[in-house]
Amino acid sequence: MKRRAVEADPLAPLVRRLLAALGEDPAREGLKLTPVRVAESLRFLTRGYGMDLAEILNDAVFEEECDEMVVVKDIEIYSLCEHHLLPFTGKAHVAYVPDRRIVGLSKIPRIVEMFSRRLQVQERLTLQIAKAVDEAIHPKGVGVVIEAGHLCMMMRGVEKQNSRAVTSCMLGRFKSDPRTRAEFLGLVGARA
């Protein structure tokens, strides 16, 4: 984003007011450009709102006779907790069992990115990723596991630095077939 466009961003004056409300002087040397930087940063961190599943897929769905599990694991996640606007980071593991259709492997991390780059709660993020994969290719099943550390639990509140939240969403065969679920959890290093 060009600097001139960012300076006109309606978030910048809000950040300036926030700094003043915190007791800071937004005109002091170190903070003069902070409102512009924060506005630019927030736009980047929440760019998922401007993403669309159809654009992400970009015709990368293919007919294929494959019927074995496809897993993309250890996909980095960077998101903002919608309750405190503090970051949470971790990894997503996404799997599906095709039903005569597959999706380009790079599209899975792009789907994760689309939903993680919004104000989120981990539980909803997990569900949104699973539903998007299901909508994209209508597989026999989808499994998503996310493990993340939340700064809202580390820096404030309970202040537990080593805590990790783990969420899962199982659709189709991953929900109905314990063997499919166990295979997926084993491949991503989670316990069944």
Tallying the residues shown for the chain, one arrives at 192
The sign of the dihedral angle between the CA atoms of 97, 100, 106, 112 is: negative
Query: Is the model's pLDDT at 182 over the cut of 90?
Result: yes
Q: Render pLDDT for 104-146 as a digit per residue (tens, 0 to 9).
A: 999 999 999 999 999 999 999 999 999 999 999 999 999 999 9
Which stretches within 64-154 are classed as H helix?
107-116, 122-137, 151-154
- Average pLDDT of span 163-171: 96
Question: What radius of gyration do the chain's Cα atoms show?
Answer: 20
How would residue 157 be classed by pLDDT, with cut points 50, 70 and 90?
Answer: confident
- Average pLDDT of span 34-57: 96
For residue 19, which of 7, 28, 9, 8 has the smallest C-alpha distance? 28
- Kindly give the pairing relationship between strand 141-150 and strand 165-172: antiparallel
How far apart are alpha carbons 44 and 140 in whole angstroms?
A: 35
Count Cβ atoms within 10 A of the Cβ of residue 121 and give its class: 0-12 exposed, 13-18 middle, 19 or more buried. middle
Return the pLDDT at 151.
92
- Average pLDDT of span 50-66: 95
Return the pLDDT at 191.
59
For residue 5, which of 36, 31, 29 has the smallest C-alpha distance? 36
Query: Is the model's pLDDT at 49 over the cut of 60?
Result: yes
Count Cβ atoms within 10 A of the Cβ of residue 117 and give its class: 0-12 exposed, 13-18 middle, 19 or more buried. buried
Position 9: which residue type? D
Q: Is residue 89 within 8 Å of 163, Cβ to Cβ?
A: no
Extract the tokens encoding 153: 């639990």
Structural domains of the chain, ranges and CATH numbers in brackets: 3-45 (1.10.286), 53-187 (3.30.1130.10)
Residues with catalytic roles:
81-84, 122, 150, 152
How would residue 2 be classed by pLDDT, with cut points 50, 70 and 90?
Answer: low
Return the pLDDT at 5.
53
**What rounded mean pLDDT belongs to the chain?**
94
Helix (H/G/I), strand (E/B), else coil: 140: coil
Query: Is the model's pLDDT at 18 over the cut of 90?
Result: yes
Helix (H/G/I), strand (E/B), else coil: 92: strand
Instruction: Please state the pTM of the whole predicted model.
Output: 0.92
